[in-house]
Amino acid sequence: MIRTELYSKAWVMELYEPATVGEIQQVEQELQIVLPKVYRELLCVSNGVLGNLATLYSTEDLVEMNKTYEVQIFAPGYVSVGNDNGGYHLLMKAEQEAVHFQLVSDGYGVPNENDVTDYFLSWLNSDEGNPWRNE
C-alpha cells in the first residue's frame, strides 16, 4: 500500500492533489485498459509525481502519453505509467494485480527479459527514485 511516506522521499520533487475515482475510471475507459491496483493507489495519494530521476503520470498525462506513443498498439497489454525524464518509459502490465514495471526505450515494442525490471512499490519507496537501480 502506498502511504504518505512518499512525501519524505528525497527524490520526490513535487506531489499533487489526489485523483478522484472518476478521473481514474475515465483513464481506463479512454485507454480501454485496467490500471494496476498499485498505480491506482498512487493516484489516490498524488495525481502524478515529479521526481528528479523519473516522472509518474497523472490521470491526464496517462491518456495523453499512452495515446501519443501508441502504447496499446506497440505494446498491447501494457500501460506507460511514467518515464525516466530521458527517453525511457516505465511500462506495467495493464492488469489489476501487476506489481512491477519494465523500463523500455521510446522506440519499444513489447517489453522483453532484457529490459530493466523492478517492483513498483520497492522502487517507489526507495530513497533514490532511480528506475535504473536494478540494472
**DSSP secondary structure, the chain, as one string:** ---GGGGG-TTEEEE-PPPPHHHHHHHHHHHTS---HHHHHHHHH-SSEEESS-EE--HHHHHHHHHHTTHHHHSTTEEEEEE-SSSEEEEEESSTT--EEEEEETT--S--TTSEEEEHHHHHTSSS--TTTT-
- 130, part of any domain: no
Q: How many domains does the chain have?
A: 1
What pLDDT, on the 0 to 100 scale, is given for residue 71?
A: 92
Q: What is the pTM of this model?
A: 0.89
> Does residue 134 belong to any structural domain of this protein?
no
| pLDDT by 10-residue block (mean), the chain, 135 residues | 71 93 98 97 95 94 95 92 91 95 77 71 83 70
CATH number, domain at 55? 3.40.1580.10
Domain contains 73: yes
Query: Domain span at residue 46?
Result: 4-124
pLDDT at 116: 66
User: In this structure, is residue 131 part of a structural domain?
Assistant: no
Residue 2 has a pLDDT of 61
97 located within any domain:
yes
pLDDT score for 126: 84
